[in-house]
Structure 1
C-alpha cells in the first residue's frame, strides 16, 4: 500500500492507494494526527509533499522503516516540464497535471484547480506541462474587497443564481461568483480555440460552487492532486 501526503500550511491531506487505485483519503489532519495515522497503517511507500515541513523533519517524526519519497523540483516525473522557472512551480500544479495525464493519456488537457488561487494549467498530448495562469480564488476576492474598502463586509462564498444583486452583500456575491464563472468559461474558450479537442478537468475545494454551472463537457475529479502524487510515487518506485 502507498500513502501520498499533500501537506499545507495548516492541515494535511492523505490518500491511501493500492497500486493505482485510490482506496480512501482523509483531509484536515494536523501534523501530529498525520504521523499517528501513518504509523497505524504501515505503508510500503510514502510520497511526502509539503510547504511547511522538510523531508528530514517528516522522517524524524515518523520513526518508521519505510521508504519516503519527497516531491521537489528535482524529483523524476512521468511528465516533462516546459516551464521557464521549474524551481518555482508549485507541487499541486504539477501533481494535478500528472494526475490528469494518467487519467486521460495522449490528450490535450486544461487542468483547473480551484483553491486559494485558481490555477489553469495545460498539459499537452505529448505529456508535456506547458504552464498556464494563476488567478485569485473566490475567498481572496472577497477578502480583497473587504480589506481595501472601508464599508464592504467580509462574506463567505456561496452558490448564486441571481445576476443582479439587490443589496451590497448580494451584489458582492454576484460580482465574485458570477465574475469567477465568467472568467473560467472565457479562459476555457480561449484554450479551446487553440486546442479544439481540449479536455477540461477541474479539482479543488471550491469546485462545488461552479460544477453545475459550467458548460459541459467538464470533468470534475476532486482528488486529482492525490491521484497525481500517487502516479509520481509509482513512477519513482519503478525507477529503483
Structure 2
C-alpha cells in the first residue's frame, strides 16, 4: 500500500492506495506542537480502525506547505513505518513544466493539484483548490504551469468577519435560501457565501478573458463542494484530486525509489 499525505495549514489529509485504488482516507488537524510519536501512533490507529494492515504500507509520499512540522512528521514515518518518505519538492518528477517567476516559491500543494487535474482531465485547465487559501492555477494543453491567483479562503473571510466585529458571532458556512436576510447570522452567511460565489465566478471569468475560453475548470478542497454546486462556471468538483496528484507524482518517481 501507498500512503499519500497532504499537510496543509489547517488539516493533514491522508489517503491509502492499494495499487490504483483509494481504499482509505483520514484527516487530522495540523498542530505544530505534536511529536513524531503522536503522529506515528495516530497514523497507526487510523489504519487499524479501517482494518488496514500497517505492515502492508510500502511507501509514503508527502506534500507539505507547513515546513515547521516536516521534521517531526517525517520522523514518525521513519520510526513507525521504517520508510523514508518522498517529499514533493525540487528534484522530484511531476510531469508539469513550471514557467513562473521564482519557481522555488511555488507551493507543493498547487503543483500536486496541477498534476492531478492535468493527468486526470487533460489541459488546458484551471485548477481551483478551496482550502485555507483558495488558489486558482492555469495549466496549458502541454502541461505548462503558467501562473495563477491566491485569495483568502472562505473560512478566513468568515473568521475575520466574526473576530473583527465585536457583535458578530461565528457562523456555519451554509448558503441561505434568500440573500435578503432577516437576522444577523443569516445576513452574515448570505454575505460570505453569496459573496464568495460571486468572487469565484469573477476570477474565473477574468482568467478566461486573459487565457482563453477553452479552459476546463476543475475544483477541489474541503469547502469546494459548497461553491462548486452553486455555479455553472466550475465543470468538475473532485474531492480526491490532491490524492490523485500525489499518486501520479509517486508513480513518476517510484523507479528511483526502488
Q: TM-score, normalised by structure 1?
A: 0.88
> Quick check: which one's helix share is greater?
2
Question: What CA deviation, in whole Å up to 9, does each residue of 1:33-58 have, x standing for no partner?
Answer: 11553871422322123322237524
2:108 counterpart of 1:94: no
1:23 offset after TM fit, Å?
A: 3.2
Rounded to whole Å, the distance in 1 between the matches of 2:185 and 2:70 is 39
CA contact (8 A) 1:139 1:156 kept: no
Point out which structure has higher relative CO (alpha carbons under 8 A, 6+ apart): 1
Equivalent residue number for residue 5 of structure 1: 5
Q: Which of 46, 54, 57 is the matching residue for 2:75? A: 57
Q: Which structure 1 segments of 5+ residues have no match?
A: none
Equivalent residue number for residue 187 of structure 1: 203
2:247 counterpart of 1:230: yes
Rounded to whole Å, the distance in 1 between the matches of 2:151 and 2:10 is 22
Q: Comparing 84-93 with 124-133, which one deviates more in the overlay?
A: 84-93
CA contact (8 A) 1:2 1:16 kept: yes
1:169 offset after TM fit, Å?
A: 1.9
2:51 counterpart of 1:34: no
Question: What CA deviation, in whole Å up to 9, does each residue of 1:40-96 have, x standing for no partner?
Answer: 1422322123322237524433352x4631112442221111121222222211111
Number of residues of Structure 1 aligned to a counterpart in Structure 2: 238
Question: What CA deviation, in whole Å up to 9, does each residue of 1:210-229 have, x standing for no partner?
Answer: 23211156101001011101
Equivalent residue number for residue 128 of structure 1: 144
CA contact (8 A) 1:83 1:129 kept: yes
Equivalent residue number for residue 170 of structure 1: 186
CA contact (8 A) 1:112 1:118 kept: yes
Q: Which of 121, 135, 149 is the matching residue for 1:104? A: 121
Q: Which of 47, 50, 64 is the matching residue for 2:61? A: 47
Q: TM-score, normalised by structure 2?
A: 0.82
Rounded to whole Å, the distance in 2 between the matches of 1:207 and 1:71 is 23
1:122 offset after TM fit, Å?
A: 0.9
2:177 counterpart of 1:161: yes
2:173 counterpart of 1:149: no
CA contact (8 A) 2:78 2:85 kept: no
